[in-house]
Chains A and B, each alone.
Chain A
Amino acid sequence: MTLQAYQEKAAVCVAGCKQRYAALQANPYLSGGQKLAVHYFTVAMVLFMAQLLFGLLAGLQFIFPSFLYEILDFNVNRMVHINAMVVWMLYGFIGSVYWFLEEESGVPIVGLKWGQLAFWVLTGAVSIVVLVYLLIQIGSGDDTSLWLINEGREYIEAPRWADIGIVVVILIFFYNVAATFSAGKWSGIAGVLTLDLVALAGLYTAGMFYVTNISIDQYWWWWVIHLWVEATWEVLVGCIMAWSLMKLLGVRRQVVQTWLYIEVALMFGSGILGLGHHYFWIGTPEYWFTIGGFFSALEPIPLVAMVVHSIYDSGVHRFKNSNHPALAWVIAHAFGNFLGAGVWGFMHTLPQINLYTHGTQWSASHGHLAFFGAYATINIAFFYLAVQQARGNVWMGSELINGWRWKTAAILLNLGVLGMTVALLIAGYEQSFIERAVEGSTWAGYFAAQNHPWFMQAMIWRMVFGLMTAVGGGLLFWDLLEIGKGEDRPAAVIGDAATAE
């Protein structure tokens, strides 16, 4: 193709996007907050695709180490892989809250214009950060690099200027949530959500300073990572899940909110001091063995409660619901969260086993299933709720037009991630035995484990299931663009009438 042909294709593509955007802005079925939410969901899906792509590249480098050597090295691909994940999850959460904020508070969003501005600022900043990651990658060992290129701290690599931007955007989001509930009505969900956002924004600042001492560095770094992922994020999705269950199944508010409080008590009761399971080996005192071991062992309990809650409620309502894909993903969330975050976390949380598993593929195995099960699934459930409304609150029950697509996407994504998790677990077991127990954790021991056929086989299986996940992801993207189009049946009405029998 000539350059001109490419330009023409690009022009068609841009025109298509503009048309879709104009259609979104004019969508009569969506409120202002919901339109803003769709902005967030769209970027979230794009970042999800980026996460999958860079995950595949990094995974391939385990099998072919010279692949993209000194072009896109493993550290770059892996950084984009995990950062795209963190950011798409946050976009999903922010979008979900904007989605239900008006309905929950009963009034229009107070600072919608600010919210829109914050969206574009954040998205611009994320784009610049990613471009710098890919094109500049690293800098010299000084403050300028940490401020402008990359902070080099796993998960929160974003340079300092972007950190400040993130905090400002989160504050605008927080203002919108708190002010809108204040202007309208407060509820249990509203109260928990607002307080959780204070904690979430505050904790991020614990990762925004530089210290020479690596033990102190990692102490505070875990405040951000652990207290986000194993505490405040869990409570945030608890709020989103509570609202979704009322919406999907018609569960009574009192039931949902009582469960939410139980989950908050259990989640924070185990998760805050469960932080100690990251303080076994970083130079911190020995009492963290007892505190970290005990409380982190309790961390699965709230996740069991969430499974009981969602499955019990679904059962009570005889699985009658207004949106089949969303309910399927809510159930995937309940089990995924319990298995990935709960069981997989518990398996290696006690110091006696963690001494051998810390810093091996065990963590990667746990990380894949936990982030997917706890967060990707609930976001996807919400995307389906949103798309249903955006298409005119249409039918999303059985016998959907092209219903194979969401089902296939869900099967491929869930099986793919589960497959990767098991492959990485095998690699982790092998590393714990060969590198740690037998070889004594030296570099020679590390590579003895990496070169072992068991490890290499695991990496190949991870790749196979990674590809399956990527195909599922692509199919999901396509489905979200198309599902509900041409559907003229209205959504099923769920409530006491539908569930009384």
Chain B
Amino acid sequence: MTEQVPRWASETFWKKTAIWVTGGSFVLLVILTFDSMSQITAGGSRVQAYSVINKDVSYRFDKAKQRYQPVIGGDAPLFGKLLSEEEAEKLVDHGKKTVQAKNCMNCHTILGNGAYYAPDLTKAWLDQGWGAKASREELMINFLLDPEKNARTFGSNRKMPNLDITKPEAEAIVAFLKWMSTIDTNGFPHNFTAIGEED
């Protein structure tokens, strides 16, 4: 019996299709990557320059876009020190390295990615749990330096372990968190009332 395989079911047809589809998709991804990179470089509208830590930051619902957006306000230097762009970048960089070296992401989520044992850090700087803006910096530093004594378990009994974080590291982490809270995350998290926006 001779078997005639139709062209659309033949091995060669699908081999060619696989090559073209893969190649085409990859080329598109590369083009989109170039565009995304240009839009998320620090200093643009989506990802702020590191010196944004000198400013007041909030997060509000944008009626036109129908989603929450970071809002950058007037001067509010972190720890009372106005930093140049280079100094701010150095501080945020130290914070990011500390967040990696302490393996924060295997308990917390960062931009929603990571583990689910502890709360998301994307808007940690803006969380109402710090009570008031005036005492926030001090509370954050004290917590990072001794999370066991200053435990914030919200009734869960889950305590952050002591990670031997130094004072400069703690300040750098806070700078990283403040900078991260200004990233335009397309409205994630939704329905989030930032500290100072309770009314």
Which residues of A come within 8 Å of B, CB atoms?
Answer: 58, 61-62, 65-66, 69-70, 73-76, 78-79, 137-143, 145-146, 149-154, 157, 188, 192, 210, 212-219, 221, 254, 257-258, 261-262, 264-265, 268-269, 272-273, 275-276, 278-289, 291, 355-356, 358-361, 363-364, 436-437, 440-444, 446-448, 450-451
Chain B, residue nearest A275 (CB)? B29
Task: Give the Cβ gap from A264 to chain B, nearest Cβ, in Å.
Answer: 4
Supposing A141-B95, A146-B97 touch, asked if A75 and B106 sit within 8 A by C-beta, the answer is: yes
Q: Please indicate the chain B residues that have their CB under 8 angstroms from the CB of A142 in the complex.
A: 97, 101
Q: Which residue of B lies closest to A351 (CB)?
A: B186
Q: Who on chain A is nearest to B24 by CB?
A: A269
Given the interface pairs A154-B113, A265-B22, the reply to whether A279 lies near B103 with Cβ below 8 Å is: no
Q: Is A283's CB under 8 angstroms from B47's CB? A: yes
Inter-subunit contact A215/B102 (CB<8 Å): no
In the complex, what's the smallest C-beta–C-beta distance from A146 to chain B, in angstroms? Answer: 6
Please report the C-alpha to C-alpha distance between residue A427 and residue B165 in the assembled complex, in whole angstroms: 32
List 16 A-B residue pairs with CB atoms under 8 Å apart, sorted by A's residue number: A62-B117, A66-B157, A70-B161, A73-B161, A75-B105, A75-B106, A143-B97, A214-B96, A218-B111, A257-B11, A265-B18, A265-B22, A284-B40, A359-B113, A359-B116, A451-B156
The one of A78, A141, A254 that contacts B11, using a Cβ cutoff of 8 Å? A254
A108 to B119, CA, bound (A): 53
| Cβ contact within 8 Å between A436 and B101 | no
Contact with A along B40-55 (1 / 0, CB 8 A): 1110001100100000
Q: How far is the CB of B78 from chain A (nearest CB, A)?
A: 16
Question: Is B115 an interface residue when CB atoms closer than 8 A count as contact?
Answer: yes
Give Cα A192 to B18, complex, Å: 10
Task: Please tell me which one of the listed residues B11, B25, B112, B156 contacts residue A447 in the complex, with CB atoms under 8 A apart.
Answer: B156
Contacts A70-B148, A188-B15, A450-B154 aside, 7 further interface pairs with beta carbons under 8 A come to A66-B159, A140-B164, A152-B105, A214-B96, A258-B11, A284-B36, A443-B129
Partner of B117, one of A61, A265, A280: A61
From known contacts A141-B101, A154-B113, A359-B120, infer whether A216 and B21 are also in contact, taking CB-CB under 8 Å.
no
In the assembled complex, which residues on chain B have CB atoms less than 8 Å from the CB atom of A261? 11, 14-15, 17-18
Which of A58, A153, A188, A355 interacts with B100 by CB under 8 Å? A153
**CB distance B105 to A265 under 8 Å?**
no
Are B36's CB and A285's CB within 8 A?
yes
**Contacting B96 at CB < 8 Å: which of A137, A212, A285, A355?**
A212
Binds A, one of B79-87, B133-141, B189-197: B189-197
Task: Please name all residues of chain B whose beta carbon is closer than 8 Å to the beta carbon of A281 when the two chains form the complex.
Answer: 111-112, 185-186, 188
Q: Tell me the complex Cα distance, A265–B76, Å.
A: 53
B119 to chain A, nearest CB (A): 4
Q: Are A444 and B106 in contact (CB under 8 A)?
A: no
Q: Could you tell me the distance in whole angstroms from the C-beta of B144 to the nearest C-beta in chain A?
A: 11
CA gap between A151 and B22 in the complex, in Å: 31
Whether B41 lies near A265 (C-beta < 8 A) is: no
In the bound assembly, the distance between CA atoms of A323 and B59 in angstroms comes to 60
- Is B97 touching A154 in the complex (CB atoms < 8 A)? no
Number of interface residues of B (CB under 8 A): 88
Interchain nearest-CB distance for B96 vs A (Å): 5
Question: Would A212 and B104 count as touching, CB distance under 8 A?
Answer: no
Known: A141-B172, A444-B128. A359 touches B112 (CB 8 A): yes
- Among residues of B, the one whose C-beta sits closest to the C-beta of A284 is B36
Chain A CB within 8 A of B10 CB: yes
Interface of A is mostly: helix
Asked if B35 is at the interface (CB within 8 A of a chain A CB), the reply is: yes
Alpha-carbon distance A409/B183, docked complex (angstroms): 48
Q: Given A268-B25, A441-B120, is A280 in contact with B100 using a C-beta cutoff of 8 Å? A: no
Flag if B103 contacts A441 (CB, 8 Å): no
A450-B191 in contact given A74-B115, A213-B41 (Cβ < 8 Å): no
Smallest distance from the beta carbon of A215 to chain B beta carbons, Å?
Answer: 4
What is the minimal beta-carbon distance from B70 to any residue of chain A, in angstroms?
Answer: 10
Q: Residue on A with the closest CB to B25?
A: A272
User: Within 8 Å CB of B26, what residues of A?
Assistant: 268, 272
Top 4 nearest A-B pairs (CB, nearest first) are A141-B98, A152-B100, A447-B154, A441-B189
Cα distance, A451 to B155, chains bound together (Å): 7
Asked whether A213 and B42 contact (CB < 8 A) given A279-B36, A437-B191, the answer is: yes
A291-B157 in contact given A213-B41, A262-B14 (Cβ < 8 Å): no
B21 and A269 within 8 A (CB): yes
B176, chain A: closest CB distance, angstroms: 8
- Pairwise interchain contact A152-B190, C-beta atoms closer than 8 A: no
B191 to chain A minimum Cβ distance, whole angstroms, is 4
A145–B10 CB distance below 8 A: no
CB distance from B14 to the nearest CB of A (A): 4
Q: Please, how many angstroms separate the alpha-carbon atoms of A265 and B26 in the complex? A: 12
- Residues in B with CB closer than 8 Å to A62 are 117
Chain B residues with CB under 8 Å of A157's CB are 103, 106
Residue among A281, A283, A444 with the highest chain B CB neighbour number at 10 A: A283
Interface centre among B28, B95, B110, B157 (most CB of A within 10 A): B110
Question: Is B127 part of the binding interface, using a Cβ–Cβ cutoff of 8 Å?
Answer: yes
Asked whether B162 is an interface residue with its Cβ less than 8 Å from the other chain, the reply is: yes
B116 touches A447 (CB 8 A): no
Q: What's the nearest-Cβ distance from chain A to residue B150, in Å?
A: 14
- When distances are taken between beta carbons in the complex, the residues of chain A under 8 Å from B104 are 75, 152
**Which of A138, A356, A442 is in CB contact (< 8 Å) with B127?**
A442
